[in-house]
Amino acid sequence: MSETVFKGFGDKALPFLKALDFHQNREWFVENKDLFEAHLLEPLGDLIDDLIARFDKAGLPFRGDRKKSQFRIKRDTRFAKDKSPYNRHLSALLSADGSKWAESGCFYVCIGLEDYKGCYAAVAWWQQKPELLAAMRKAIVDKPENYRAMVAALKKGGLTLSDYDRLKRTPRGFETVTDPDLIEALRNRHFVVRHPIDPDGITSPALADELFDFALKAKPLIDWGKKIEGTLVS
């Protein structure tokens, strides 16, 4: 195990988000910015540093930066119906190339209010380029044994693929597929496994161990996608 950098989120992390949800104005946020930074922003940076070091030693392709990997708590409301200026959560994304917008497999962590996003982590192939998603669907049909082995490995670790944003109909070109599990797989837009985080446990340094263990259990999903992605590299 790597040396623990993460000491836990502050005990006022979630109370701050609850208060922010109520106030939702710049004046209140500025007055309480020190609280935000001490209990949420800096601890999330520490968690990122801690996990990056562990992921590197374990050969997991999740990289980033303690600041650049975090999403801003201030919302872009230009095209949103909800004009609230601040998010009710703080989150970060680690990826193969270290960016927040990578399409090549990612690790995501969110600390927030249950009524909005809640506290959870996810490992995913998310919003892939069309050619990669098409290759994944082709691989599911051409090599179903590989897909099923990946699903079985996830299940052994207590994980299941999410059905979030799944298509209601089978994509064009795959109408002849009849196996129920493959039909479900083909309808996925994304391939995601999710890990709920107990809000009562976010103040503990053990959260870093918990998230690292989750990422290791999710590795079969990343490995499966990487093999398919590799076939697209010229």
Q: Which pLDDT does position 122 carry in this prediction?
A: 97
Whether 208 and 51 have beta carbons less than 8 Å apart is answered as yes
- 127 Cβ contact list (under 8 Å, min separation 6): 103, 189, 190
Q: Which pLDDT does position 3 carry in this prediction?
A: 59
Segment 188-194 shows an average pLDDT of: 97
For 75, phi then psi, to 5°, come to -85, 150
- pLDDT tens column, 93-105: 999 999 987 678 9
Torsion angle of the four alpha carbons 59, 62, 132, 171, in this order, in degrees rounded to the nearest 10: 110
Q: What is the CB-side half-sphere exposure of residue 187 using CA atoms within 13 A?
A: 18
Segment 23-30 shows an average pLDDT of: 96
Q: Which pLDDT does position 115 carry in this prediction?
A: 82
- pTM, to two decimals: 0.94
**How many residues would you count in the chain?**
234
Q: Could you give the CA distance from residue 99 to residue 62 in angstroms, rounded to a whole number?
A: 10
Is residue 117 pLDDT above 90, yes or no? no
Mean pLDDT for the chain? 95
**Percent of the chain clearing pLDDT 90 (strictly above):** 90
Q: Which pLDDT does position 202 carry in this prediction?
A: 98
Q: Which pLDDT does position 1 carry in this prediction?
A: 44
pLDDT band at 215 (very low <50, low <70, confident <90, very high): very high
End-to-end Cα separation, the chain, in angstroms: 37
Angle at 15 between CA 193 and CA 26, to 5 degrees: 100
Q: Where are the domains of the chain?
A: 13-230
The radius of gyration of the chain's CA atoms, rounded to the nearest angstrom, is 19
Q: Look at the block and give the residue holding tokens 């670790």.
A: 157
- pLDDT tens column, 121-152: 999 999 999 999 999 999 999 999 999 999 99
- pLDDT tens column, 80-91: 888 999 999 999
- pLDDT tens column, 171-190: 999 999 999 999 999 999 99
